[in-house]
Amino acid sequence: MSNLSETAEKVAQGPTLNVAPSPHVADTSFTTRRMMTDVLIGLTPLVAMSVFMFRWLAVQQIAVCVVACLASEAVFVSMRGKKITLNDCSAAVTGLILALSLPATAPWYVGCLASVVAMGIGKIIFGGLGMNIFNPAMVGRAFVMIAFASLMGAGAYENPASAIDAISQATPLTALKGSGISTSIFNLFFGFTNGSLGETSALAALIGGIFLCIRRTASWEIPVGVIACVALLAGLADLSAGANGHLLLHHLFGGALLFGAFFIATDPVSSPLTPRGKFIFGAGVGAFIMIIRLFSGYPEGVMFAILLMNAVTPLINRWTIPRPMGDA
């Protein structure tokens, strides 16, 4: 009788809404390994283009960074007495992104030291995967950018259409900043120019980045925020200089803008959680990039912009937290 009365009481109360603490997993197949595998696939066009342009130097740089990141993670995780989880591919992704952010001519020990710093200070010191505040690859790159500044300039690239083995040339943003020389938009878009391994081809970055957004591994709000803000500020600079759109396209397709917008700023650990917060984060990255490019003595600003906005991520999350249902 007691059970019958309890059942009748529940029926009278109507359906029950059970609320559990986050995170709420809607798709159990959406694992860390799947996300990291998607990123590795998305980076394939950039890797192919870097090998095409820089040949053996690109292969060497990628191999050094990936192996050093895997070894560093294994050592640091063992020191913390935790289980080694190299099979989640997160260390390989950090190594590949770090390698693509470096110039092909940087010595092997630069990539190796950057990898050790990325995994040790950028990731494991905070507790490992999912606990880091800053993007690990950018932490490693920032270290070698300061420690080995003279070795971080992209010196030359291979030109398959030329009989000359290698062409020595400043990066497009350096040439524009230092000498007012602008690179052909065609070369910037397809990647026939000098630069760090992953920043030469805007087309390759777009192909890989759109793949990540379609797979929902990367949140589209972040690259849209970055690109929209850069387009707005570069457009204003273009109008003031009377460049008829050339300066705008130069900033959009030049440097590491698209590589950073799709593959680095979208790091789910160091970027905001809410859709509105992600757009704000992306717009902030774009604003910092253009401030650094236009007003500092530094021709590029993607790395510093992402690290600065990583620091603001907890505040953005607090600003944009959804209001509970029924709250005034």
Q: What is the pLDDT of residues 51-89, one digit of tens each?
A: 999 999 999 999 999 999 999 999 999 998 888 888 889
Residues 291-305 have pLDDT tens digits of: 999 998 888 899 999
Decide if 27 is inside a domain: no
* CA–CA dist 88, 153 (Å, integer): 33
Decide if 136 is inside a domain: yes
Residues 84-104 have pLDDT tens digits of: 888 889 999 999 999 999 999
Decide if 189 is inside a domain: yes
- The pLDDT of residue 96: 97
DSSP state for residue 255 in the 8-state scheme: T
Contact 238, 248 (CB under 8 A): yes
Tokens 């524009």: give the residue: 176
Show the domain range for 302: 32-160+169-320
Decide if 24 is inside a domain: no
Decide if 117 is inside a domain: yes
Decide if 300 is inside a domain: yes
DSSP β-ladder status, 156-157 and 167-168: antiparallel
Alpha-carbon distances of 25 from 22, 31, 47, 70, 277, rounded to whole Å: 8, 10, 32, 28, 20
* CA–CA dist 188, 194 (Å, integer): 9
**Cα-Cα-Cα-Cα dihedral sign, residues 151, 152, 153, 157:** positive
Decide if 201 is inside a domain: yes
Low-confidence ranges of the chain (pLDDT < 70): 1-29, 154-169, 325-328
Decide if 22 is inside a domain: no
Helix, strand, coil distribution of the chain in percent, nearest 5:
65, 0, 35
The backbone region for 84, taken as left when phi is positive above 0, alpha when psi lies in -120 to 50, beta otherwise, is beta
- The pLDDT of residue 82: 84
* H-only helix segments in 43-107: 44-54, 56-79, 90-100
Domain count, the chain: 1
Q: Helices 32-42 and 202-214: crossing angle, nearest 10°?
A: 150
